[in-house]
Amino acid sequence: MTAIDTDLLVLGAGAAGLVTALAATGRRVCLLNAADSASELAQGGIAAAVGAGDSPRLHAIDTHAAGHGLNDDGAVRFACEGAPDAVAWLEALGVRFARDGEAWSLHLEAAHSRARVLHAGGDATGAEVMRVLRRRAAEALHVERLSGLRATGLVRGDDGVCGVTALSVDGRSFTIHARDVVIATGGIGALYSRTTNPECARGDGVAMALAAGARCAGLASVQFHPTALDVPARPLPLLTEALRGAGARLLDEGGAPLMRSAHPLGDLAPRDVVAREVHRAQCAGGSVWLDATDLRTTDVARSFPSAYRACRQFGIDPDREPIRITCAAHYHMGGIAVDLDGRTNLPHLWAVGEAAHTGLHGANRLASNSLLEAVVFGRRLGRALTQAGSAPVASGTAADGPRDEEVSPELRDLMWTCLGPARDPAAIASGIERLSAWRSGPPARALASPRLGLVVAMLRDAQGGGAAIA
Ligand SMILES: Cc1cc2nc3c(=O)[nH]c(=O)nc-3n(C[C@H](O)[C@H](O)[C@H](O)COP(=O)(O)OP(=O)(O)OC[C@H]3O[C@@H](n4cnc5c(N)ncnc54)[C@H](O)[C@@H]3O)c2cc1C
C-alpha cells in the first residue's frame, strides 16, 4: 500500500471539484479523478437571470415551483442571486457563451418562466465549461492532479475524516492522508439500467460518506430525464429540453400530443411530470416520439449539434422523422447533507455538486440549475476551505480495505424496478428483501459493501417517504 500526504484532497474533477479546487487558493490541493464526468456531457446550459425582464427572484420562484416547494429557501436564494456573478466569473476565465450580437443568447427550457439558459457550442455547454476549468486547473500552481485513481473509502482519525483509500486502474492500493476531504464525485445514474449518466456516476462518494457516518438527505429523490434516445447504448444519448423549448412535440404511439391533457404547460411541464407521462405510456406498451421536424426558427442540425449527431449515429434524421425516446435516470437530488459552505456533520469532510444535498433542488431539479450549483457552491466552498486553513495532516485508520466492485446488471434492474420513475410500495419492499438476501449470501464481502448500503438507504427513504437519513 502506497501512502501519500496532502493538505486538501478533492475527490472528483467534474465542474464542482474543479471550481472548488480553483477557488481554494490558500490551500495545497490534490485533485483525485477516476475517469469521465457528467459535467462534460451537459448540453442545455447554465441558468442565470441575466435577460431583460428577468430577475433572481423569478428564477427562485421557478426553482421552488419545480422542486414542489421542498427546496431550502436559503440555498435557492444563494444560487439564484449568485448566478449572474457565476456566469461573469466563468466568462472571465474564458468560457465562450453564445451571444445574439451584444446580448446573451438565452434558451427557454421546461418549467422556466423566462428564457434564461446560457449555452455554448449549440448544445455542448458542459464541454466548453470543462475545457476552460481543466485548463485553469492545469495552470493553477496550488492544484496538483492525480488521475486514474478511484477512491474506495474514507479514513477516519481522532479528529474526524483524514483521508481516503484508493485504487489505481492497474489495481495498486493507496492511502492518501489529508487535512480536509471534499467529496465531488457526482451522481448515481450509472446504478440504473437506463441512464444518461457516464459510468463514473456510481454514487461512490455518497456511499463512502454514508458508511463513515455522514448524514445524508433526500436519498430517494432521483430525477428522470423524459427524452433520452431509445437506442441500445450506455449511457443513453440525451435530447436536450431546449428542443421542446424550440417547438419539438412529444407524441404518443398513435401520433397524438402526449402532454395535451397531462399538464397546463404541455410539453414544457416540469421534468418529473413529463418523465412520468413517458413512463406511463411505455408501461402501457406504446412507444413515445419526439417530433422535431417543425422547429419554430431553426433546425436540429444547426442549433442542437450534439443531439443531431447522436440521432445520425443511430440512423435517425431528426429534421425529417420523429425520434423514439425513453425516460432515463438523470440526476440525484439527494446526497450528503451540507450547509451553504459545503460542511457535513463529520469534521474535515465537505461535499459539493451532485454528490451534496444543499436543498437547492427540492423534490425535482429545475433544468440547468446543476452546473449553476457546481459553480456557486464550489466557489463558496473553496473560500471556506481557504479560511479554514491548513494544519498538519493527522493519521487514521480506514474503515475497510480498498476494493472496487462492478455494478451488476441485477442491481441496475432492481434500481429501475424499485427506484424508477414510478414508485410502488410492494416493489420497494421486495427490493429490500432481495438486497438483504444478497448481503447475507456469498460472496460474504458484499455484507459490508458501501454501494449496497447506499441502495438500501435509498429504498428505506423511498419506503418511509422521509427526506433525511442518518
Ligand atoms: C447527459 C447530461 C446532460 C446534462 N445537461 C445539463 C445541463 O444542460 N445543465 C445542467 O445544469 N446540468 C446538466 N446535467 C447535470 C450536470 O451535468 C451534473 O449534475 C453536474 O455536472 C455534476 O457535476 P459534479 O462535478 O458534481 O459531478 P461530475 O461532473 O459527474 O464529476 C464527478 C467526478 O468525480 C469522479 N469520480 C466519481 N467517483 C469517483 C471515485 N470513487 N474516486 C475518484 N473520483 C471519482 C468522476 O470521474 C468525475 O471526475 C446533465 C447531465 C447529463 C448526464
Give the chain's domains with CATH numbers: 2-188+333-398 (3.50.50.60), 225-330 (3.90.700.10)
288 CB less than 6 Å from ligand 1?
no
What is the pLDDT, as a whole number, of residue 298?
Answer: 78
The ligand 1 atom at the shortest distance from the C-alpha of residue 151 is: 42
Render 234-256 in DSSP notation, one character per residue: SSPPB--THHHHTT-EEE-TTSS
Cα of 280 vs its chain's centroid, Å? 24
Active-site residue (options: 271, 343, 379, 451): 271
What is the pLDDT, as a whole number, of residue 295?
Answer: 87
344 CB less than 6 Å from ligand 1?
no
Give the span between the Cα atoms of 77 and 74, in whole angstroms. 5
What is the pLDDT, as a whole number, of residue 84?
Answer: 98
What is the pLDDT, as a whole number, of residue 448?
Answer: 55
> 121: which 3 cell numbers?
457550442
Strands 349-351 and 356-357: unpaired
Q: Are 463 and 432 in contact (CB under 8 A)?
A: yes
> 48: which 3 cell numbers?
442565470
200 CB less than 6 Å from ligand 1?
yes
Spacing, Cα 331 to ligand 1 middle (Å): 9
Give the span between the Cα atoms of 360 and 16, in whole angstroms. 15
What is the pLDDT, as a whole number, of residue 470?
Answer: 29
Spacing, Cα 440 to ligand 1 middle (Å): 33
The ligand 1 atom at the shortest distance from the C-alpha of residue 18 is: 25
DSSP state of 7: S
What is the pLDDT, as a whole number, of residue 447?
Answer: 45
The ligand 1 atom at the shortest distance from the C-alpha of residue 373 is: 11
The ligand 1 atom at the shortest distance from the C-alpha of residue 33 is: 44
Nearest one of 155, 132, 164 to 34, comparing CA atoms: 164
Q: Which residues of the chain have pLDDT under 70?
A: 392-393, 397-404, 439-448, 465-470
Give the span between the Cα atoms of 224 and 421, in whole angstroms. 6
165 CB less than 6 Å from ligand 1?
no
Side chain identity, residue 125: T
Rounded (5°) CA angle 230-231-233: 125
Side chain identity, residue 190: A
Spacing, Cα 38 to ligand 1 middle (Å): 3
Active site residue 172: no
Which residue's CA is the closest to the ligand 1 atom numbered 20? 39
Give the span between the Cα atoms of 447 and 439, in whole angstroms. 5
What is the pLDDT, as a whole number, of residue 441?
Answer: 60
What is the pLDDT, as a whole number, of residue 398?
Answer: 67
Spacing, Cα 320 to ligand 1 middle (Å): 32
> 226: which 3 cell numbers?
423524459
Task: For ligand 1, pick from 154, 366, 371 the residue to mutate: most ligand atoms within 8 Å of CB.
Answer: 371
What is the pLDDT, as a whole number, of residue 105?
Answer: 95
Which residue's CA is the closest to the ligand 1 atom numbered 37? 185
Give the span between the Cα atoms of 4 and 288, in whole angstroms. 52
**C-alpha pair distances (Å), 450 with each of 33, 205, 207, 308, 411:** 19, 10, 5, 39, 14
Spacing, Cα 187 to ligand 1 middle (Å): 7
Which residue's CA is the closest to the ligand 1 atom numbered 33? 12
The ligand 1 atom at the shortest distance from the C-alpha of residue 195 is: 53
Report the DSSP beta bridge partners of residue 290: 250, 323
322 CB less than 6 Å from ligand 1?
no
What is the pLDDT, as a whole number, of residue 220?
Answer: 96
Spacing, Cα 202 to ligand 1 middle (Å): 11
Give the span between the Cα atoms of 116 and 59, in whole angstroms. 9
